[in-house]
Amino acid sequence: MAAVTATTRRAFLSFLAASPLLAYLDLPRDWFTALAQEPDLIKAAKDALDVFDFEPVARKNLLPAHWGYLETGTDDDGTVRANREGFDRYQLRVRRLVDTSKVDMSVRMLGARWDTPILLCPCGSHKAFHPEGESAVARAAKAKKHLFVLATPATTSIEDVTAARGEPVWFQLYQRNDWNQTRQMIKRAEATGSPVLVHTIDLLGGSNRETNVRAQRRDTAECSGCHTGRPGTGNSGQPMTAELKPAPPAPEVGPPTWDYVKRLKDATPMKLVLKGIVTREDAEIALQHGVDGVWVSNHGGRAENSMRSTIECVPEVAAAVAGRAPVIVDSGFRRGTDIFKALALGATTIGIGRPYLWGLGAFGQEGVEAVVDILRRELQMVMRQAGTTDLAKIARAYVVDRRAQPGS
């Protein structure tokens, strides 16, 4: 009956949107059209056909300010859209009659082996999306054997996340304006056994998150019921920064430059990955400074509004790295075909952010597990369709750049 009611309601609203009677009502035609196109929401994680099915459920569950923080890009969100559109630049060249009865999706990276090349990106303020926050995501990563990278603005301590994951997680660093505070966070992560420090460098110039600000203005909810402050305000109950111990100040002089990379390497035996590299030149400089991995990212469209997708950055970065270090890429990944294209263009692994947070906001840990299951299944399927039985076989020859086509 519920399905019939929803279908009938959409049909009625579609009729009104097209009706000349609408001219006599003081309501915009687009309002009816949007309501008519409202999707049926899945009732359980197992009902999802793709990762997009979790998005409207999460949106329904979350406060407007929390949703705005999750979905925002910078300026007009143009680079958020560009990250998705970038995948359309590449077509797949698939092969036939290959024995794909056994497909190995495992990958080795920085001394560890993972069952798939899909990792869970560092994202802040998980408790804004579900009461169990990062712990639920860590348990999902444990259940599905995925790499989880904890963010500096996490709403759960790295100690609790490590316990939930059952092994050390990578730690993503936003440096502080005081070196002693930055060093405290590094040493805290190091004490939990974290093997890799991921320094994010794509937000050093700031970002103009209009969607987030507009959503906060519409939200009158009292945030103290679920966390301190609002996501993105710097006061969200974030243990890595809230629990810094008093120490003699060591203020920074200006923003970090390439010299800062040496300081980080000298401060810890953890491997160092730079997150936010999008050009050949910076990839080459990063390797000259001894980084252990390069992460192609524009922060999911939340950093600069370059209008350049990360998938389009992968070929030049991978060419500069030339196999000397792993190349990670995130931003806009929603399908198994997206992952395949990135691997073919030279990426070692890919990261997802918003999709697993949609799953978290929709159904908690179960939703996160379902999201990674869907992507794993889709990647395995496209590998079979293409005739690639392991990741090493996914090469540049399997993709075609539309812009390189004659007459394009």
Q: Is the residue at 55 inside a domain?
A: no
- Residue 5 reports pLDDT greater than 70: no
Asked, for residue 66, whether it belongs to a domain, the answer is no
Residues 141 and 11 in one domain: no
Per-residue pLDDT, 358:
98
Provide the pLDDT for residue 23.
Answer: 57
Query: Distance (Å, rounded) from C-alpha 316 to C-alpha 18?
Result: 49
pLDDT at 25 over 60: no
- Number of domains forming the structure of the chain: 2
Residue of 267, 260, 259, 291 lying closest to 277 (CA atoms): 291
Query: How far is the C-alpha of 296 from the C-alpha of 299, rounded, in Å?
Result: 9
pLDDT of residue 29: 53
Name the catalytic one among 66, 146, 199, 299. Answer: 299
pLDDT of residue 17: 58
Q: Quick one: what percent of the chain has pLDDT higher than 70?
A: 86
Mean confidence (pLDDT) of the chain: 90
Query: Do residues 166 and 142 lie in contact, with contact meaning Cβ atoms separated by under 8 Å?
Result: yes
Q: Average pLDDT in the 345-357 region?
A: 98
Sheet (strand 149-150) strand order: 118-120, 349-352, 327-329, 293-296, 271-275, 196-200, 170-173, 149-150
Residue 341 lies in a domain: yes
Is 149 found in the same domain as 4?
no
Choose between 153 and 235: higher pLDDT.
153
Both 115 and 207 in a single domain?
yes
DSSP letter at 38?
P
Judge whether residue 76 has pLDDT over 70. Answer: yes
Q: How confident is the model at residue 233 (pLDDT cuts 50, 70, 90)?
A: very low
Q: Judging by beta carbons within 10 Å of its beta carbon (0-12, 13-18, 19+), is residue 306 exposed, middle or buried?
A: middle
Look at residue 26 and tell me if it is in a domain: yes
166 and 274 housed in the same domain? yes
Confidence tier at 230 by pLDDT (50, 70, 90):
very low
| pLDDT for the residue numbered 167 | 97
Do 231 and 314 fall into the same domain? Answer: yes
247 and 349 co-located in one domain:
yes
User: Are residues 2 and 98 both part of a single domain?
Assistant: no
CATH of the domain at 208: 3.20.20.70
Decide the pairing of beta strands 170-173 and 196-200.
Answer: parallel
252 and 188 share one domain: yes
What are the phi and psi torsion angles at 196 (to 5°)?
-135, 135
Residue 63 lies in a domain: no
Q: What is the mean pLDDT of residues 168-191?
A: 97
Q: What is the pLDDT of residue 404?
A: 83
Judge whether residue 73 has pLDDT over 70. yes
Average pLDDT in the 110-134 region? Answer: 97
| Statement to judge: residues 30 and 127 lie in one domain | no
Beta strand residue intervals within 7-166, DSSP E: 90-92, 107-109, 112-114, 118-120, 149-150
**Is residue 382 situated within a structural domain?**
yes
Is residue 146 flagged as an active site residue? no
* Residue 291 covered by a domain: yes
Which of the pair, 404 or 104, is modelled with greater confidence?
Answer: 104
DSSP state string for 163-231: HHHTS--EEEE---SBHHHHHHHHHHHHHTT--EEEEE-TTTT----HHHHHHHHH----GGGTSSS-T
What are the C-alpha distances in Å from 329 to residues 95, 125, 258, 305, 386? 25, 22, 21, 17, 22
C-alpha 260/C-alpha 274 separation (Å) is 11
| 192 and 95 within one domain | yes
Residue 339 belongs to domain spanning: 78-404
Considering the domain architecture, whether residues 11 and 150 belong to the same structural domain is answered as no
Residue 168, pLDDT > 80, answer: yes
Query: pLDDT, tens digit, for every residue of 274-321?
Result: 999 999 999 999 999 999 999 999 999 999 999 999 999 999 999 999
Does one domain contain both 242 and 144? yes
In a domain, 44, yes or no: no
Instruction: Assign 2 a pLDDT band (cuts: 50, 70, 90).
Output: very low
Mean pLDDT of 226-238: 54
